[in-house]
Each structure stands twice: as C-alpha cells, then as structure tokens.
Structure 1
Amino acid sequence: MGNLMGSWRYKEPSTVEECDSTWGSDSESDEPAAEDDSGISDPASPAESGRSAAEPGDASPQLPGSPESAPKMKRSFYAARDLYKYRHCYPNYKESRQPNEYRNLRFYLNKIPLVPDGIYIEEILTKWRGDYDKLEHNHTYIQWLFPLREQGLNFYAQELTQDEIKEFQSTREAKRRFLAAYSLMLDFYGIKLLDKSGNVARAPNWQERFQHLNESQHNYLRITRILKSLGELGYEAFKPPLVRLLLEESLCHATLPNMQHSALEYYVYTIRLPASRRRLLRYARQYYRPAHAFLWGPPPKKRGAGGGGSGGAGSSGIRAPAPTPEQQRKGEESAVSSAASAEIMVSSH
C-alpha cells in the first residue's frame, strides 16, 4: 500500500470537464458538502463545455434569429485549470521559505512596507479609503493586501506558504487588518460589509461606483484575487455572499452587465464547496439571457428532464453497445421501408 501511495503522481487536467466537479455529486437537498472539490466530474455535452468562439465546420442549416444561429460559445480552459489548482491547494507546489521570511505576515503586522512603494499597511487603511483615483491607478498594492500562493504582477510581493497561512490565521492583529483591507476594497467597488459572517450589500455610493466598475474591467481580475485570498486566509464563508451580490447586480439589475462572464467563469469557481457553487449557478441560470447560452449548468443527464439524446435525464450514464453488422443492416432495411411507405402516403394526397 505504501508503494502505491508513494508512486502516485498528480495528473494535470486537460479539459474543462476534468477541472470542474461542481455537478459530480449533485443533490436536490444541496446540503453543504463535508469536503472540498474532488476534481472529478461527469462528461458535459458540447453545448455545456463551450465559451468563446463558433465551432469550426458546423454547416447545419440554421434559421436567422433562432437560438441555434447564435455562435457556439466555450468555457475557458485556462480559467478552469487555474481555479482547479487553487481549489486543490496547488498540487505539486514546492515551498521552501523559513518563518523569518514571512513578508506577507510582517506587512500585515505593520513591520515592513510594501515594495516598491514603501507604504505601510496602516497608511493604506487610514489614508486610502475613499481615495478612488489612487486605488484605481496604483497597481502594486493589491498583491500585498491580498496575498496568494501564486505569483502576481508585482514580483516584489512574495507568495504565501502553508506555514505562513497558519501563522496569519492565528494572529489577531493581522486578521483585523485583513478584514479592514477587504472593507476598503468593497467600498471602492460600491459595496459594504455588513457583519462578521461576510454578508454584503450596496453601499451608499453604489451608483457611481458600479458605473465605474462596469467600465473598469481590470478590477475584475482584482476581485478574483480578493476572493482567492479570502479562502487562503480563513474567510471561505465570505465568498458566497459577495459572489451572489455580483451575480444579482450583473444578471438581475443590469447594473454590472459587463461583469456577467467574469462572475460565472471565475468568481463562482473560487468557491471550494461544490454545493455552494451549485446554489449560485442555479440562481444565475434563472436570470441568464439568452437562456440557451448558459454554459455552467449540469450535464444534461443531471437536469431531471426525460428522454432524448445521449446521456439524457434519467440515463444511467452507460452507453449502449455498438450495433453488430447484422443489426445495422436490418436497421437500414427498416429505414428504407419506412421511407418508401411515407412516399406512397404523400403521393396519395
């Protein structure tokens, strides 16, 4: 047994379906799962797995304005793989730093400034709140405020390690400042933090800030980073309320229409519990338009609709064996006979 475990190697996922286990353990009760994303998924139909371009070579006749005439979209494999690695705590990632190099923790303890700007955390928290121009145009602070176990655009910022994460989560002063930094960024986006459970709502300045956020799309990458960092530093429960609000604003109220794709392709998939992702995606599917283009639902066999198509609802997921040559010949003869009968009936009219 020891040899078997010792010989195990991480296998890089090669498809979107391999990266997404959201619907792999679907249940109607949708009770929170006791464990994180397993990384195992059922195969999705071609319509489920798409995102950005029309399928080449699709020459089937289509009526103008019909759902079938719309370009077939695809989900991003890059996004799916990135978030798969995040949810699985970066398989095969090597860590070597010592405790005295915990620069992220030391920054949050106000012992060192962020590099290269030389600014301390307390200055950011006390003087930057409401300074929206600075928060918009400075591109070095976000990696320090929301550290991850992956390299960002500021190469002076260090990645987190598992040991540093443990130290951070046990340090009250660091956690207090981290929540203050989260509140600072939410205010920048027109959102307010309501309580210690992570519930959020529109802030008084929401109209002005949502209009800016809808147009300033580089902030969508920042939000992905913020969500990831929340999960790394012990605030996984804060993610679903924020993602739910952004889905509601982008899909229901059309205040953030440009954010729809980022919310569905990235934000939902930062959440580690499959049950939480399912609830958000079921909510989103109610309001997504056009409905036929929703890419993030369960494979067809999970939808509970009856009959039709391979792997349809109620299907066991096991394909029937291929017909023998004799069965295929009889089927072709039957089809020819049926066609001839239909032709006679049409002629009689």
Structure 2
Amino acid sequence: MGNLLGSWRFKEPSTVEECDSTWGSDSEGDEPAAAGDDSGVSGSVSPADSERAAGEPGERSPQLTDSPDSVPKMKRSFYAARDLYKYRHSYPNYRKSRQPNEYRNLRFYLNKIPLVPDGIYIEEILTKWRGDYDKLEHNHTYIQWLFPLREQGLNFYAHELTQEEIKEFQSTREAKRRFLAAYSLMLDFYGIKLLDKSGNVARAPNWKERFQHLNESQHNYLRITRILKSLGELGYEAFKAPLVHLFLEESLSHNTLPSMQHSVLEYFVYTIRLPATRRRLLRYARKHYAPPHGFMWGPPPKKRGGGGSTGAGSSGIRAPAPTPEQQRRGEEMSPSAGSRIIVSSHDAVVYQEGAGGGLKGGPSNMAGLEGALMMAGSRGERNEYNDIVSL
C-alpha cells in the first residue's frame, strides 16, 4: 500500500477550463475565498517561467479589431493556464531539490555569497544599480537571483527554492528587507513606485519614459511574471493585486501600456491565488476591454441562445436554458454562433500557426515562443529560444 501511495502522481489538467477555477464559485459579491481554494499549501507557493508578450507598439492586436467576424478567434493559452495552475497549487508533482539544505538564495540575500555567474553581491545591486536602466535591461542573470522560484529558470547557475528555504527566508528580517528593496528597484525600472508596506503602488515621476520602454521591451513581461510569482512564494501575496490592477488600468483604461494588455490578462492576473481577487480584477478588465466580444477571460455566459454553451473563461458549468423569448432576443442582438470564442482544447498555438513567423509579429507569434518554452521546460531540455528570451 505504501508503495502505491508513494508512486501516485497528480493528474495534470488537460484543458484551460480545468486549469481555471476563477469562476467555478462565481459570486457577484466577491465573497472571500476559502483558504484551501486554489492555494495549494498555506504559506507559500511556487513556479515556472513562461510568458507571452503582446504586439508591437502602435499595432492593433487581433483581439482589438472592430468586427467579431473579421479575424480568427484567439484562444487562451493552455500552456500559460497550466503553468499558473501548477504555481497556484504549489506544483503537485514537484520533486525536492537534490541539494535542499544549501539555502543559496537565502545566503545571497544575506550578502554572504554573490550571484553566479557574475560574482555580484546583493548590496551592490541594491545600492549601485538603482536608476542604471541600461544595466537592468541588458543583464539577464540577476533576475533569477533577485526573485527566486521553486522551478529552474534560464540562468542554470541560479538555485531553485525549497519549502524549507522559503520558511527560513520568511523568518529572516534582513532577507525580507532586501527583498522589498529589490522589488522597489524593479518597480522603479518600470516607472512605478512602492507607496507603503501594504504593497500599494503608483506611477513614478519618470513613468512616461519608462512606460514607453516597457511597451517596446516586452521580455520584461516575462520578468514581471517571475516577480509576481516570487512575491507569492516569499510571503508577499498581498502585493500582487495592487500591481496587477495598476497594469490593467494603464493598459486598458489609459492606453499607456497597450502592448501589455494580453500579458496582464493571460499571466499576471493568474499568478494571484485567491479566486475572489482574480474575479474582481477580471470584472474591472471586462468593463474596460475593447471590443467587448474579444474578452476571453470570463465570466462564463449565463444565458445565451443555443442552450447555454460555455465560452472562454468558462468553469465548465452549463448555463440554464433560455426561455423562447430570451432565445429570440439573443438571436436578434448577439453575434452569430460561429463568431463565439470557444476554448475547450489544449492546443494553445493553433492561432499562431496561421499567423506567420517572426518574434516581432505580435501576440500570436509570442504564443508560439511561450508554448515552445513551456514544452521544452516540461521535458527539462534547453531549446533554441533560450538565447532569445531571458527570464
């Protein structure tokens, strides 16, 4: 019996709907979610690194076109949904590190060892790199050390976190102080300032210049996903929502970060563990997303012609069948059934395959890059994209 239990492996979800519990207990009142809902373990969670960026500044991505029938319908990325599902659930199939007692991440944050391979100590980064935006942009080895995760990133010299190290980190005041300083450093790089110890954020004085850079340098969206995940692992889960809300506001309401729209909705929101918090953010996004028919992240349609079929972002719960009068009105006012966005497949790059190549072609091409990164990462392999996109 012991052998059977020891060999049991968690069955991974196979569809976007299975990965997303955001709307499974939909409540307009946004009641606090139960402690065990989408949280994995009490205390901390963990992660992987993948991310899709949106199109080039000035371009209109496919979901922003005016007509629901004018372009192929995009689907949510299964690879993104699965990655963030694992993160929120503390990686059910996670295997302990081969060297669980080294605490390399904690020792780095205590200024006892430098990051590898550059040989730089944390205090040098915190005191000398702030405001050196060229260095922060072009150096690709520090981010895995500043924001450690429980899964290997693209700097293979960086060490994965362990549960034991996470607990030790969270109980070490000096490490936590430096971690918040590192978070503030990166926020400044992105044109944002940390306002208080609750994680509230706002535009920094240099926000126009930095937001323009953030629109153009989209590999930073990968970094932001890592930062959000690391916040959750090291005890700062509450810091995520203010930052994600700011990015939603800037990308959707103010159009200052238009290239970030898809990444915020596909990745940043889903690093947040509490479904009620995700629902609040997605309801805000739905109000400001244009065009409305392009919004793929729920809530699921409750009453729609055709017997209550579920759409993108659906929890898989079938809506009540409409009355004849509701069905007649729905047929007169809603788009044709063929224009609906239906997400039930785990093939996240179907749209990308029909869109053409090139890393600068917009969200569809980045979806292919993200998918390749995720598939290679799940096999433990290096791949041809490792030298192109750094996390």
TM-score where L is the length of structure 1 = 0.79
CA distance in 2, matches of 1:209, 1:180: 19
Q: How does 1:110-125 map to 2 (within 5 A)?
A: 110-125=111-126
Residue aligning to 1:19: 19
How far apart are the structure 1 equivalents of 2:211 and 2:66?
32
Equivalent residue of 1:67, what SS?
coil
The aligned counterpart of 1:231 is 232
Counterpart amino acid of residue 81 in structure 1: R
Contact 2:97–2:160 under 8 Å retained in 1:
no
Q: Secondary structure at the match of 1:264?
A: helix
Q: Please give the alpha-carbon distance, in whole angstroms, between the structure 2 residues aligned to 1:9 and 1:104.
A: 28
Letter matched to residue 160 of structure 1: L
| Matched residue type, 2:15 | T
CA distance in 1, matches of 2:38, 2:191: 35
Does the residue aligned with 2:202 lie in a helix, a strand or coil? strand
Farther-moved stretch of structure 1 (93-102 vs 110-119): 93-102
Partner residue in 1 for 2:199: 198
Q: Distance in 2 between matches of 1:82 and 1:15?
A: 12
**Matched residue, 1:323:** none
Question: What do the CA deviations read for 1:255-299 (whole angstroms, capped 9, x no partner)?
Answer: 100000000000000000000000000000111111100000122
3-state DSSP class of the match of 1:118? coil
Which structure: greater helix fraction?
1
Alignment-mate amino acid for residue 10 of structure 1: F
Cα offsets for 1:167-196 (capped at 9, x unmatched): 000000000000000000000000000000
What residue number does 1:311 align with?
A: 308
Q: List aligned pairs for 1:30-41, cutoff 5 A.
A: 30-38=30-38
SS at match of 1:282: helix
Contact in 2 for aligned 1:191/1:206 (Cα 8 Å): yes
Residue 70 (structure 1) shift? 2.9
Shift of residue 97, structure 1, vs aligned partner = 4.7
Q: 1:310: how far off? A: 2.4
The C-alpha deviation readout for 1:234-274, integer Å capped at 9, x for no partner, is 00000000000000000011110000000000000000000
Identity of aligned residues (%): 85
Q: What residue ranges of structure 1 are gaps of 5+ in the alignment?
A: 40-50, 53-63, 321-349
Contact conserved, 1:19 with 1:84, CA < 8 A, in 2? yes
Instruction: Give the conservation status (yes or no) of the 8 Å contact 2:100–2:162.
Output: no
Letter in 2 for 1:281: L
SS of equivalent residue, structure 1 residue 238: helix
- Deviation, 1:31, is 1.9
Relative contact order, higher structure (CA 8 A, sep 6+): 2
Alignment-mate amino acid for residue 23 of structure 1: W
Report the Cα offset of residue 109 of structure 1.
0.4
What SS does the aligned partner of 1:201 have?
strand
The one-letter code matched in structure 2 to 1:154 is N
Residue 278 in structure 1 maps to residue 279 in structure 2 = yes
Q: 1: distance between equivalents of 2:288 and 2:253?
A: 6
Residue 368 of structure 2 is matched in structure 1 by: none
> Match for 2:280: what amino acid?
R
Once the two structures are superposed, the pairs formed by residues 63-142 of structure 1 within 5 Å of their partners are 66-97=67-98, 100-142=101-143
Question: What amino acid is aligned across from residue 33 of structure 2 in structure 1?
Answer: A
| Max Rg structure | 1
Distance 1:68 1:114, change over 3 A: same
The separation in 2 between residues aligned to 1:316 and 1:164, in whole angstroms, is 40
